[in-house]
Structure 1
Amino acid sequence: MSLPSYTRSQLALRNGQDKPEIWVAWQGTIYDVTDSRLWRNGKHYEHWAGQDLTEELADAPHTATVFERFKAIGQLT
């Protein structure tokens, strides 16, 4: 199954402020983190939703396996 494609601009709108969805991208895949209490209001510690977090993961106290908890909903184009 192929996932729909979204632009960085479309991802940016899913920041917890402009639209009700809260999305983040990692390595080209977009994940829906709307239901996560850790992403409430689009902020997770010093990270903001609506953007690609690939570069920021190196500073996180967890590994990429954290994305397994969330549904992949698209591809970043």
Structure 2
Amino acid sequence: MEFTRHQLALRNGNEREEIWIAYKGVIYDVTNSKMWRNGKHYEHWAGQDLTDELQDAPHDTKVFEKLQVVGRLVH
């Protein structure tokens, strides 16, 4: 499925129950992740494309392999 930035933004942990993030055009469901409680992970907020922000993350992209893919982010 494809989702817009607006649809992604609604999945921020406040507007709806789902908590989603995007990375390199792929949207991931982090709703059940202990690291994303209340839609926040350290200084990062859910409902956003985190591609640029994760360049400085202390972990590599392997963390995404454990997450469920929801769809693709369209512009």
TM-score class, shorter-chain normalisation, is over 0.9
Q: Deviations over 1:40-68 (max 9, x none)?
A: 00000000000000001111100111100
Misfit runs of 4+, over 2 Å: none
Partner letter of residue 19 of structure 1?
A: R
Partner letter of residue 18 of structure 2?
A: E
Structure 1: give runs of 5+ residues left out of the alignment.
none
Q: Deviations over 1:7-39 (max 9, x none)?
A: 000000000000000000000000000000110
Quote the residue 2:8 is aligned against: 11
Q: CA–CA distance in 2 between the matches of 1:58 and 1:28?
A: 15
Structure 2: give runs of 5+ residues left out of the alignment.
none
Q: CA–CA distance in 1 between the matches of 2:22 and 2:67?
A: 11
Q: TM-score, normalised by structure 1?
A: 0.94
SS at match of 1:72: strand
What's the % identity of the aligned pairs? 64
Q: TM-score, normalised by structure 2?
A: 0.97
The aligned length equals: 74
